[in-house]
Copies of this chain bind each other. A is one copy, B any other.
Amino acid sequence: MINTEKQSGATSTITSPADREIHIERVFDAPRDRVWRAFTERDQIAQWWGRGNKLVVERMEVERGGHWRFVEHSADGVHGFEGRYREVTPPETLVYTFEWDGMPGHVAVDTTIFEDLGDGRTKVVSTSIFHTTEERDGMLYSGMEQGLNQSYAALDELLAKQE
């Protein structure tokens, strides 16, 4: 595991510790409550999740059993993503399903933990579990890492702006 604790707003650590999982760690230079809001409020997520592309938040019911659906308008087309919240425990834990319209019925479960580093920074630890290794690998080789780093860079900017 690469130590990202001394970095801020730099790189995500992406590993695949089990054959159906992806594990991601990233430190943000903002307090935990602030980062939690960026992940759970509609007008906040619209500003970073789409990596600079227009993002339409069609549905975002942040409670157990609630649905979400985001549509990203990028240069290569329109991409819908959706899922359902399994657990919402502010400001610590968010568990939801994740599905891309391009691979309908292929569903990952994402668990995101927000860890207060005690110095005004927050570590975000995400684990995705897939039904099969093939689905996990499909996600890993889909350009996920680049997309994620772009989203998280946009989130860095949002957090810096609004402190």
- Interface contact B129-A105, CB-CB below 8 Å: no
Q: Beyond A129-B131, A131-B129, A131-B131, is A105–B95 a contact (Cβ under 8 Å)?
A: yes
Q: Which of B65, B87, B104, B130 makes the CB contact (< 8 A) with A64?
A: B104
Closest B residue to A80 by beta carbon equals B65
With A and B bound together, what is the CA distance between A23 and B50 in angstroms? Answer: 40
A39 CB to nearest chain B CB (Å): 16
Closest B residue to A101 by beta carbon equals B65
With A and B bound together, what is the CA distance between A95 and B95 in angstroms? Answer: 25
Q: Does A35 contact B (CB under 8 A)?
A: no
Q: Does A125 contact B (CB under 8 A)?
A: no
Q: Does A96 contact B (CB under 8 A)?
A: yes
A55 CB to nearest chain B CB (Å): 20
Closest B residue to A132 by beta carbon equals B129
Please give, as numbers and ranges, the residues of chain B lying within 8 Å of A106 by CB-CB distance. Answer: 86
Q: Which of B65, B99, B107, B132 makes the CB contact (< 8 A) with A104?
A: B65
Q: Does A153 contact B (CB under 8 A)?
A: no
Lowest 4 A-B CB distances belong to which pairs? A86-B105, A65-B104, A107-B107, A97-B105
Could you list 7 examples of A-B contacts with CB < 8 Å?
Answer: A85-B105, A86-B105, A97-B105, A97-B107, A105-B109, A107-B107, A131-B131
